[in-house]
Amino acid sequence: MDVNTTNETLCVSKIIGQKSDVIFVEGDIIVPDVKPDILNAINVSGNVCVYKKEILDGKVRIDGNVNVYIMYLADTENQNIRGLNSSIDFTEILDIDGCNSSMILDEDISIKSIECKILNGRKVNVKVSLSIDANVYTNENLEFISNLDLDQDIQCLKSPLEVNSIIGEGNTKTIAKDTVIIDNADTIAEILSMSLNIVNKDAKISYNKILAKAEACVKIMYLTEDGRICTQETMIPIMGFIDMPNVTEDNLPEIKYKLKNIIINPNPEDEHSIYIEAEFEIMCKVYETKQIQIIEDLYSTCKEVNFDQRNVVVLTDKTTSRQTCNIRERAVIQEIGENKIYDTIVKVNINKEDVIQDNIIYDGDVEINFVFQSNDLAGLDTVQYKLPFSFTAALNGVNLNSSISTEIELGMQDFVVLSDGIIDIKIDLLFNINASKQKNIKVIDNITMDDLKQDNLYSMTIYFVKKSDTLWNIAKKHKSTIDEIVRVNNIEDENKIYPGQQLFIPKHRLTKNVATA
């Protein structure tokens, strides 16, 4: 006989495969005819863009490019500074068993290092080391039995559980663009370097939509026609709407920004401005917190109950936190002396991550590449400085079983030249932390009932409690109920029984009111 049940559904992410790798993107850059020969590379920087990604059977394909900026010493009589910009395309195929086109790819790609080798005065070889983390997953609806028909004589052992269920997932593409006005005295000869960081991330939920907001912090160093080196920094708003039915303000959005393409173009001389356009993909997944009841076990006092059990993995204790690490240090960098700093390129490395109850301890370093005024003929030089740091983020509930994802955003950066090579360094690192736990649970399926093959001939049984016993196990074994055992034995706390304790176990008589443990 089938049993009438009430079912509930959770949406969970199932990880199909993960792959982390370091790849090398290499290409030769030809110096245009209008530019002088290259004598020496002073500084190399770049940005990585992913313009296409595809999941195939058993593999993923990622297509992108690295925009490379080279500041170089020209092979001329004056040995002046010049700039060289080019794009190096790459295609990477990663083998991930079990994946197919119906699944979702979440990839993180960052530049580890860039090397520049001069082949001759007109050709430069660039080798870029990229760190790739690829995660392929699918969202599945998990159906489970949450309640039974109370008119049937079935005893249920339930346990409450708070879980995080996915409401929906979506993405959108958006373009952030601006025209940056520069000083009227500046006529741009060429762009020397460009960096882009996404900062001030935020999300708003309303009217079945997610509004994702952030800013692109763009820093540009350029050379003027009269040989001066100038810098310009601007903040460009990033905004995108993602449709998400049934979303509410109580839900938890998880948003990621991916740079797909970037264009930097100086406008005509009389406009004294630079046009900037960046294309982004915004990915969003939204979670809700649900209180559910898991049926751990069941039986009937007058029937034989049959059921299946299966293991499932659910997400619990999902939380986000945004915390700031303030780095303040006075560094001695003799190479800079008291010269002007034109630009800084900051990169953050996390070398170690430890979890102690309610705390995450990060140990890492900040790599700072200073571009500064020098006293030699070129008038420009670079030096790298590495600044170690340790930061403890307090996050209630996090422990060794937590899965932690950390994204670091560069906040305030201030570098002041004092004297005798002393640089006053102020950097704010904004730690965007996502933490959650995966819990394995057993859910019950396919419940049926049959008549008992043999009835119990006794109305009362005397039982002595064993070490591993619970009242549930005792009641189930003897086809009784917890309520009746508690009543007959005058037990004050049903969770407190002890080995050797004598219990009278009454045989349960079928009634309309079925007890539930």
Fold of 458-506: Membrane-bound Lytic Murein Transglycosylase D; Chain A (3.10.350)
Q: What is the pLDDT of residue 512?
A: 37
Integer-rounded Cα Rg, in Å, for the chain is 32
- Which among 17-21, 143-147, 508-512 has the top mean pLDDT? 17-21
pLDDT at 150: 55
pTM over 0.95: no
For the cut 70, the answer to whether the pLDDT of residue 391 exceeds it is: yes
pLDDT higher than 80, residue 510 = no
On the question of pLDDT at 340 being above 50, the answer is yes
Q: 4 or 258, which is more confident?
A: 258
Average pLDDT, the chain: 91
pLDDT at 305: 87
* Mean pLDDT along residues 92-96: 95
Judge contact between 323 and 432, C-beta under 8 A. no
pLDDT in tens, 133-189: 999 999 999 988 888 875 567 888 989 999 999 999 999 999 999 999 999 989 999
For Cα atoms 363, 366, 372, give the angle at the middle one, nearest 5 degrees. 165
* Model confidence band, residue 449 (pLDDT cutoffs 50, 70, 90): confident
Contact between 417 and 266 under an 8 Å Cβ cutoff? The reply is: no
Q: What is the largest CA-CA distance in the chain?
A: 112
Distance, in Å, from the CA atom of 258 to the CA atom of 429, rounded to the nearest integer, reads 20
Contact (CB, 8 A) for 38 and 74: yes
The reported pLDDT for the residue numbered 22 is 95
Residue extent(s) of CATH 3.10.350.10 domains in the chain: 458-506
Q: CA nearest 128: which of 89, 93, 94, 95?
A: 89
Q: In the predicted model, is pLDDT for residue 427 greater than 50? A: yes
